[in-house]
């Protein structure tokens, strides 16, 4: 499976909202409601932020939300904070017990 | 505290083998499927392999199928990844991650991750 397509970088000022897109195909994102999002900073264990397209694990801020339309999933972060600066990865089920990740998006808080 | 701690990484020659371990604590290890995910230098995350809570079902990415073997020892709360016929393309930080259910459920989200162990394949 080919990696899902994410923008290499996005940026925003504190308090603003940003959206990170994750484009797949009808073989993964477009067919399955199993899209998750992970936050990852160097030297720190990745953290699950969103699962099953739009569900938030306990302890994750309500500023993080997920959605999906067709072959594209999106992660929106509202009320941007300096602590949100990290790399973000989407992940989708791709059938036959396989998972496929996106290439990652570096979020910079200006 | 829920925690995963990987070990076993290192420098290995092309064609060589390495066995990674991941010790879990803070949760009932045998109640959850587990996974290995890797990140090559300058690249994104890549799912490698998954295993059910009982260990009876295993799954692999095409890139490692036939070369890597995932297993677990529930009596020791430990996950393993046996890596054979290694190539430079396998150079990466390897993370173990906990799934949310006992059946292979990485697609439902992996909610606990370790900090990774580095594997370098080079002559």
Each residue's pLDDT, cut to its tens digit, for chain A (110 residues) gives 678 999 999 999 999 999 999 999 999 999 999 999 999 998 889 999 999 999 999 999 999 999 999 999 999 999 999 999 999 999 999 998 899 999 999 999 99
The answer to whether the CB atoms of A97 and B104 lie below 8 A apart is: yes
Length of chain A equals: 110
The answer to whether the CB atoms of B47 and A101 lie below 8 A apart is: yes
Interval A3-33: pLDDT, tens? 899 999 999 999 999 999 999 999 999 999 9
pLDDT of residue A1: 65
The residue among A81, A87, A67, A83 whose CA lies nearest residue A22 is A67
Integer angstrom CA distances of residue A35 from B67, B69, B112? 28, 26, 17
Euclidean distance between CA atoms A102 and B42, whole angstroms: 13
**Percentage helix, strand, coil for chain A under 3-state DSSP, each rounded to 5:** 5, 50, 50
Instruction: Indicate the residue of A32, A98, A102 with minimum beta-carbon distance to B44.
Output: A102
Reduced to 3 states (helix: H, G, I; strand: E, B; else coil), residue B31 is: helix
Integer angstrom CA distances of residue B119 from A27, A41, B9? 31, 19, 5
Contact indicator for B95, B113 with CB cutoff of 8 Å: yes
Instruction: Indicate the residue of B59, B108, B111 with minimum beta-carbon distance to A52.
Output: B108
- The residue of chain B with its CA nearest to that of A99 is B47
Euclidean distance between CA atoms B100 and B98, whole angstroms: 7
Instruction: Indicate the residue of A46, A51, A103 with minimum beta-carbon distance to B95.
Output: A46
pLDDT of residue B104: 87
The answer to whether the CB atoms of B45 and A46 lie below 8 A apart is: yes
Length of chain B equals: 123
pLDDT of residue A37: 98
Euclidean distance between CA atoms B117 and A45, whole angstroms: 11
Interval B22-60: pLDDT, tens? 999 999 999 999 999 999 999 999 999 999 999 999 999
- The residue of chain A with its CA nearest to that of B52 is A97
A64 contact B CB<8A:
no
Shortest Cα distance from B17 to chain A (angstroms)? Answer: 24
A85 contact B CB<8A:
no
Residue A100 neighbours by CB under 8 Å, 6+ apart: A1, A2, A3, A4, A24, A28, A91, A92, A94, B47
């Amino acid at each position: 499976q080919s990696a899902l397509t994410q923008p290499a970088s996005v940026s925003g000022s504190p308090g603003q909202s940003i959206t990170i897109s994750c484009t797949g195909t009808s073989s993964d994102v477009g067919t399955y409601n199993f899209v998750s999002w992970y936050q990852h900073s160097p030297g720190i264990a990745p953290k699950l932020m969103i699962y099953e397209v739009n569900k938030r694990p306990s302890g994750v801020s309500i500023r993080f939300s997920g959605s999906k339309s067709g072959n594209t999933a999106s992660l929106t972060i509202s009320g941007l904070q300096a602590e949100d600066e990290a790399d973000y990865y989407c992940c989708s089920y791709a059938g036959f017990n396989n998972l496929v990740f996106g290439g990652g998006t570096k979020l910079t808080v200006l | 505290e829920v925690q995963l701690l990987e070990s076993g990484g290192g420098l290995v020659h092309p064609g060589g083998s390495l066995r990674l371990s991941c010790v879990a604590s803070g949760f009932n290890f045998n109640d959850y499927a587990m996974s290995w995910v890797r990140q090559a230098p300058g690249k994104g995350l890549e799912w490698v392999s998954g295993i059910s809570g009982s260990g009876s079902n295993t799954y692999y990415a095409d890139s490692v199928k036939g070369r890597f073997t995932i297993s677990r020892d529930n009596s020791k709360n430990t996950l393993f990844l046996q890596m054979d016929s290694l190539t430079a393309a396998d150079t990466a930080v390897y993370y173990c991650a906990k799934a949310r259910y006992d059946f292979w459920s990485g697609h439902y989200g992996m909610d606990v991750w370790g900090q990774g162990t580095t594997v370098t394949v080079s002559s």
